[in-house]
Every structure is written in structure tokens, then in C-alpha cells.
Amino acid sequence: MFKLEADFEPSGDQPDAINALAEGIEAGQEYQTLLGITGSGKSATIAWMIEKIQRPTLVIAPNKALAAQLANEFRQFFP
């Protein structure tokens, strides 16, 4: 269903974040927040998490510009 295509692998804190988010979803947590500085790989982390859980996911951005940027990134991750 969801197969991520990327030229890089999770690194640093990303593997732990992916697992923690996925475990939270499987445990039924209704709300989770991923925080990180600009350029820290939040979008990629979410994409890997979506691939891991294999479930449709709602990702919310605070404005249209960031929503468009995120949509473009996800189109590249999930062609």
C-alpha cells in the first residue's frame, strides 16, 4: 500500500521517533506531536512512519505554503 522511495535512510533521532510515533498509533493515542528544528527531517520521519504503520494518515500544516510544501514532499516519497 504505502512504499516510501527515498535516496537516504533514517538517521540520528529519526528511527526512535518513527518507532515512538508508530507505537503511539498502535496503542490508540489520538494525538501526537513531532517537534524539530527547520531541516531536521520531520517530513521524512512522518513519511517513514506512514510506511511503517501502513495506514492513511492526516498531517496538518499551519498554513497553505507549508501544506503545499509538505504535499510536494509526500508526492516524491510516495510516487
Write the single-letter amino acid at 65: A
Q: Give Cα separations from 76 to 13, 44, 73 (angstroms).
A: 22, 10, 5
- pLDDT band for position 50 (50/70/90)? very high
Write the single-letter amino acid at 56: P
Stretch 43-48: mean pLDDT: 97
Cα distance between residue 26 and residue 37, in whole Å: 26
Stretch 15-43: mean pLDDT: 95
Cβ neighbourhood burial of 58 (10 Å; 0-12, 13-18, 19+): exposed
Domains and CATH numbers, the chain: 14-77 (3.40.50.300)
Nearest to 32 by CA among 67, 3, 57, 56: 57
pLDDT score of 62: 92
